[in-house]
Amino acid sequence: MRPFNDSVIYFAVVDRFSNGNPSNDNGRNPEAYDASRSDWFKYWGGDLNGVVDKIDYIKELGCSALWLTPLFDQIDGLVDVEGRGMAGYHGYWAKDFKRLDEHLAGSPEDVRVFASSDTIFDRMVGEMHRRDMRLVLDIVCNHSSPAQRPDMGGRPVKGEIYDDGKLLTSYEDDKLGWYHRNGGVSDWGNKAQVEGGELCGLADFNESRIGYRTYIKDAIKLWLDKGVDALRVDTVKHMPFWFWQEFVSDMLFHKPDLFIFGEWFQGGCYDGLSVQFANKSGMGMLDFALQRALEDALARGAGAGFELVDNVFAMDPLFDDCRHLVTFLDNHDMPRFMSAGATPARLEMGLALILTCRGTPCVYYGTEQYLHNDTNGGGDPYNRPMMEKWDTGTPAFLLIKKLAAVRKENAAVQSGSHRVKYLSKDIYAYTRVYDGDSCLAAFNRGPAAEIALENVEFPDGVYRDVISGRQISVKGGRIESLLLARDTSLVLSYCAPAPAGSGLEISFLLNGFRTAYGQRVKVTGNCPELGNWDLSKAFPLEYINDNLWLGRLTLKESAGGAIAYKFIVERDGDGVLYENRPAHFRHLPGDGRMELQHRWS
């Protein structure tokens, strides 16, 4: 799996983003649509034509990946929620995983998305790929739909599943055994209940049935073949690890460069099971722990401030690859950052931090326009207002644009180690360092202050703050006097000259060896680029954290062939420690990029 950490993801709830085709608004059930946009539980008209209309806006923002809520055909009826009828406008109540929902289509024929190569979906993917943008499809494997209001015959309708229009099964008439019947979850500490029980009345799939697994995997592969570049996976904590390992393996076998990340709700470094999921499932994970720390520090004004944020980064070694975490300030399942109490300046500070820290940053639609609705605290569904404006000159828009460009070009931002240079409740400064590149980020949520920074990994010189444009001098690794105004951020970026030539770019990753001071991890092997087993010419990796060493190497002579290699640790005054195993063997492509990840043996 190739990480997306050179990208910024833009996440849009399709129905609430842009209405490019009013003719599809009513869908099959006009009762499910509200033209006044006053009923927050119904469709409001956003569709894929609207997405196509705004691709250039998203590209100008600096986002090179677009995550869309599920596009699958949704139930047509309404579900009773809080005394009102809710439609499947959000996309998480699928009935046919092999059809496009009619509310999103450009024409009635588009719903059979795999029967043609000229649908609105094909047009959208083509427009994105022409702009070097990647599509992230939101998928649901855990459940289908809750019970709808009874039909004309008084029959309850729950969990109907179709295969390109052909009814396969339903919760009420489940001859295939595709559904669990364990009731709702009453004990959230009971793993079996969480994985086998119903979430909010949603018909819960029985993943032990090979027929269901074949159906869902075949359906997602069809979307991948249509041009989907990455998957965001809903409700991963509600299915067992073995299912995800099988699912991810099949998806990566089908599309090896696919990036996959899951939603383990409220998961992160403080939840041991979610850490295990991130390390064992084969996919990345949304970083709820960092989101909570940023919300507490910047939106709610918690006294511990940036110490809460640094505590999360200090636990990065729990993950085999923290680059696979997806960072965010808010999303469709929680109040927006400003609804939680953030001022525009604090929102901008949070954006600057996720855009310069490890992982892949994700911007929720409208955040760049300060979009929020604080009704009932801004929780669901009020965290999903209609996109209102497309101003390319807001401070948040410009900040995202500038820092997305830094992330795209600076390897340290993408993959570097996190080195704290200053930490207090109100001020936080860190550098990111990798492969000759460096980035410095500094934040102040308190009164104006003047600080000095030591051991800044920049060559001597004068650097321009990417955000404000002011000049900062670095001499002997020191910034003598750095003035930080209240509620401001600063970002400096340095990129070393790129080596000449081309070839196969390989990143070697090693987990599971905790080095001590004076120890260095290297890769040695039977090719010229790895020293032909001469340890004095072995390729050195860089320390990222206590559980990750990483190195990026361009192979010219050996590209397209096979190599053998193994990891060693040089220990000052104590010789060399070898992996206790035979060499690794790999057949290499002739060009492109690949990652080779290993655990110390």
Active site residues per annotation: 234, 263
Contact yes or no for 410/439 (Cβ under 8 A) = yes
- Compute the Cα dihedral for 403, 405, 410, 416 and give only its sign: positive
**Per-residue DSSP letters for 535-548?**
GGGPEEPEEEETTE
Q: How many C-beta neighbours within 10 Å does residue 249 have? A: 11
The residue assigned the tokens 């980020």 is 441
- Compute the Cα dihedral for 21, 216, 28, 119 and give only its sign: positive
Burial class (CB in 10 A: 0-12, 13-18, 19+), 148: buried
What is the Cα–Cα distance from 455 to 452, expressed in whole angstroms?
A: 10
E strands, 45-170, are 65-68, 72-74, 79-81, 84-86, 94-100, 134-139, 161-163, 166-169
E strands, 456-547, are 461-464, 471-474, 479-484, 488-494, 504-511, 519-525, 539-540, 542-545
What is the Cα–Cα distance from 500 to 321, expressed in whole angstroms?
A: 29
- Cα dihedral value 393, 415, 431, 409, nearest 10: -40
Six-digit token pair at 224? 């991948």
Coil, helix or strand at residue 187: coil
Six-digit token pair at 239? 């299915």
Contact yes or no for 472/456 (Cβ under 8 A) = no
Residues in CB range of 288: below 8 A, 6 or more apart: 264, 265, 266, 267, 268
Question: Residue 395 pairs with which residues in a beta bridge?
Answer: none
Burial class (CB in 10 A: 0-12, 13-18, 19+), 72: buried
Greatest Cα pair distance in the chain: 83
* Phi, then psi, of 290 in degrees rounded to 5: -65, -40
Q: Which of 27, 41, 195 is nearest to 110 (CA)?
A: 27
What is the Cα–Cα distance from 561 to 12, expressed in whole angstroms?
A: 43
Report the chain's C-alpha Rg in angstroms. Answer: 25
Which own/partner contact pairs does 244-248 have at CB distance under 8 Å and 24+ positions apart? 244/277, 244/281, 244/282, 244/283, 245/280, 245/281, 245/282, 246/213, 247/141, 247/213, 247/216, 247/217, 248/1, 248/281, 248/282, 248/283
